Amino acid sequence: MTQGVLSLDNRLGLDKYEIDEQSHISIEHSRCANCGLKPCLTVCPAAVYVWVEDKVAIRYENCLECGTCTIACEGGGNGGITWHPPQGGFGIVFRYG
């Protein structure tokens, strides 16, 4: 099956998650309005950030907890992301790592 290219959703579907009811990511939307590059929209390996109706929407359930978005938003964006680790035991569960 690997010979064909896997879609991102198929890839994320391979992973195990313990989904928390509450989002561990929040956005201060007023900052995004003044953010030229919007790196969050491209840099996330799980495409958690999407541009919907003039706003950044979050699909936090897919988060791989890599930390890229916060660094990209701080240094290349406008600091709109607040990211906390999910509460203990929740979120991504790597079986190989």
Cα separation, 33 vs 20, whole angstroms: 28
Alpha carbon distance 97, 19 (integer Å)? 18
To another protein, the closest distance from the beta carbon of 29 in angstroms equals: 20
Q: How many helices (H) and strands (E) does the chain have?
A: 4, 6
CB under 5 to 8 A by kind: which of ligand SF4, another protein, none does 4 bind? Answer: none
Query: Which tokens belong to 55?
Result: 């706003």
Residue 28 found at the interface with another protein (CB under 8 A) = no
Contact residues: another protein, CB under 8 A: 1-3, 5-6, 8, 11-12, 14-15, 18, 37, 39, 42-47, 64-68, 70-72, 74-76, 83-89, 91-97
